[in-house]
Amino acid sequence: MLAAEPPSLTLPIGPGDPAWQTARGGRAGNSPVMNVDGVWRDYATVPVLREGRPVAIVVMGESLRDSPSQANLATSGTLGFVVGGLSVVDSAGTVMFSWNPDLIGHRLAAPADLANLRVGEARKIDLAGAGDRITIASPVADLLNGGYLVFQQPVPAFYRDIRSGQLTRDSSLLAVVGAALVGLTVLNGRREAAIRREQGRLQALLHNAHDIVIATGADGSVTFVSSAAALLLGLPASSYLGRQLPDIAYPDDAATLAEFLHRAAEAGTAAVRDVRLSTAGSGHRWFDIEAIDLRDRPEVAGILLTCHEIGERRLLQDELRYQAFHDALTGLPNRALFARRLDVLAAERPTPAFAVLFIDLDRFKSVNDTYGHDAGDEVLRIIGARLQGAGTGQDAVCRLGGDEFAVILGDTDSARAHDVADRLLESIRRPISVAGRSVTVDATIGVALAESQDAPPGAVVRNADLAMYRAKEAGRVRQAACVPTAGQP
């Protein structure tokens, strides 16, 4: 048990109870009548969902004799008759509420007598050993694990006023049937009168949960927020009441949250991952949110959302995503991100003018052989930073692996491409201090330009690679250009 109100409470229901199984299936349920420490009680079970699966169950119980619903039936359940009246029984036929409080906990009907009744139908049933009573029953849709509204009266009292034979008898039966159907509204009195009492218990439990629990009306207005909001979002829970649910989301995710709430109202359940909720100070935190529609359960009377904070998972995802597309040594974009940016260029119509520079460090192996691999790694880190500093914000500097780098120059022409190549060579050649020694590294750069609007990026890359090898064959420590790429495959 995560929390209880009062703290000393022990649960009389568990995994074997039908209401518990209903909640484990993702729906709210209610227990059969049970005697707990000499008091007749029933219990409502409400699931708390995460990723579509219940991770906790909120259990709310009440004393049936002290329930507002019992008070309603005690005053209006006789339907004007001198003796007899209405009772609400559970799926086993045991009285939950009754015109006669002494009937609570007693069985009025066997389950077999009630099993074939349909919601919206009131029918006279013949009970074994109850030939001296008229019994009419109708199922109650509000009780998810089953329940019935039962009218019962002694036969002499029921037919006392019959004066015109069968016609009057049928009219009396019809009147009672109608009263039984209308009497279903008595349950609404039970739920409405119990909301203030049960919601206090519900809030006491939910305020102890680490996840933020939110209840909204069908229009999206917030009716309840657990106190975890203050811890995770930095604002008191009361500050959210009355606001529209999308308004508490980070602005970029407001539409996502609105659509999510609509799905929950339509389908009964919904889930959304990686949603940002606004925090104090214009910040945000990441959440996975599950919703279940409990508008038919007045203890909640709305759509219940469980917001599970995923900051650690999000940080891990961001770190893994960064590692997948960046070189661990230099922090530069890697070959995978280089290819992805070329794909973005290829998808643009018309393809913009761009250039690719292939950079290969000359005789870098001698640095590793002479000074060691740690010194070689430091040289690569410094050169990577220099290459990044020599370009502009529109340029993408990547490390392809080993001692090879590449630069994508966006929105450029031949003059600028060669100017950038010269600056890169100059930057690379500056002496580097490693382990107290000065190291100088040279490089060869191949330049390829896409001047045609239909130039394939892949062809530009191949031309840059080819230009780089031609420059090496010509003597290294230089740049070389390939002819502009114009629509070649």
- What does the pLDDT read at residue 478? 54
Give pLDDT tens digits for 17-29.
888 888 888 888 8
- What pLDDT was estimated at residue 7? 61
pLDDT given at position 476? 57
In this prediction, residue 169 carries a pLDDT of: 40
Identify the pLDDT of residue 185: 40
Instruction: Identify the CA nearest to 187 among candidates 292, 295, 86.
Output: 86
Active-site residue, selected from the candidate residues 90, 211, 403, 465 = 403
pLDDT at 434: 83
pLDDT of residue 103: 92
For the cut 90, the answer to whether the pLDDT of residue 84 exceeds it is no
Does residue 356 carry a pLDDT above 80? yes
Return the pLDDT at 191. 42
Say if residue 459's pLDDT is above 90.
no
Residue 397: CB atoms within 10 A of its CB come to: 23
Q: Token pair of 115, please? A: 């099993």
pLDDT-derived band at 86 (thresholds 50, 70, 90) equals confident
CA distances from 140 to 87, 186, 283, 335 (A): 11, 11, 48, 65
Which fold would CATH assign to domain 326-481? Answer: Alpha-Beta Plaits (3.30.70)
Band the pLDDT of 104: cuts 50, 70, 90.
Answer: very high
Q: Pick from 22-31, 140-149, 162-171, 445-454 the range whose average pLDDT is largest.
A: 22-31
State the pLDDT at residue 453.
61
Q: In one letter, which amino acid is 254?
A: A
C-alpha–C-alpha distance, residues 389 and 420, integer Å: 11
Residues 295-333 pLDDT 10s: 877 666 789 898 988 887 778 778 888 888 999 999 999
Please check whether residue 428 is in contact with residue 420, taking contact to mean a CB–CB distance below 8 angstroms: no
Higher pLDDT, 283 or 172: 283
Q: Across-strand partners of 409?
A: 355
Distance, CA of 34 to CA of 40 (rounded, Å): 6
pTM score, two decimals? 0.46
Fold of 68-189: Beta-Lactamase (3.30.450)
Is the confidence at residue 343, as pLDDT, over 90? no
Domain with CATH 3.30.450.20 in the chain: 212-314
> Which of 294, 144, 166 is closest to 218 using CA atoms?
294
Please, what is the average pLDDT of the chain?
79
- At residue 131, the pLDDT reads 66
Q: What does the pLDDT read at residue 486?
A: 46
Query: For residue 172, what pLDDT is reported?
Result: 44
pLDDT at 347: 76
* % of the chain with per-residue pLDDT over 90: 22
Per-residue pLDDT at 280 exceeds 50:
yes
Contact by Cβ (8 Å): 60, 47: no
Three-state DSSP string of the chain: CCCCCCCCCCCCCCCCCHHHHHHHCCCCEECCCEEECCEEEEEEEEEEEECCEEEEEEEEEEECCCCHHHHHHHHHCCCCCCCCEEEEEECCCEEEEECCHHHCCCECCCHHHHCCCCCCCCEEECCCCCCCEEEEEEECCCCCCCEEEEEEEEHHHHCCCCCCHHHHHHHHHHHHHHHHHHCCHHHHHHHHHHHHHHHHHHHHHHCCCCCEEEEECCCCEEEEECCHHHHHHCCCHHHHCCCEHHHHECHHHHHHHHHHHHHHHHHCEEEEEEEEEECCCCCEEEEEEEEEEECCCCCCCEEEEEEEECHHHHHHHHHHHHHHHECCCCCCECHHHHHHHHHHHHHCCCCCCEEEEEEEEECCHHHHHHHCHHHHHHHHHHHHHHHHHHCCCCCEEEEEECCEEEEEEECCCHHHHHHHHHHHHHHHHCCEEECCEEECCEEEEEEEEECCCCCCHHHHHHHHHHHHHHHHHCCCCCEEECCCECCCC
Fold of 212-314: Beta-Lactamase (3.30.450)
Residues of the chain with CATH 3.30.70.270: 326-481
pLDDT(171) > 70: no
Q: Say if CB 41 and CB 13 are below 8 A apart.
A: no
Q: How far apart are CA 86 and CA 254, in angstroms?
A: 49
Cross-strand partners of 34: 41
The first and second tokens of residue 347, run together, are: 């998808």
Residue 383, pLDDT score: 93
**Which of 114-123, 210-219, 262-271, 465-474 is least confident?**
114-123
Higher pLDDT pick, 228 / 351: 228
174-193: pLDDT as tens digits? 444 444 444 434 444 444 44
Catalytic, 403? Answer: yes
| Amino acid at the residue 2 | L
Task: Check: CB of residue 406 under 8 Å from CB of residue 462.
Answer: no
pLDDT at site 418: 87
Asked if 407 contacts 420 with a C-beta cutoff of 8 angstroms, the reply is: yes
User: How many of the other CB atoms lie within 10 Å of CB of 270?
Assistant: 22
Whether cis (ω within 30° of 0) applies to the bond prior to 111 is: no
Express each pLDDT in 364-421 by its tens digit. 888 888 888 899 999 999 999 999 887 666 678 999 999 999 999 887 888 888 888 8
Model confidence at 207: pLDDT above 70: no
What proportion of the chain, given as a percentage, has pLDDT over 70?
Answer: 78
Mean pLDDT of 442-451: 86
Residue type at 81 in one-letter notation? F
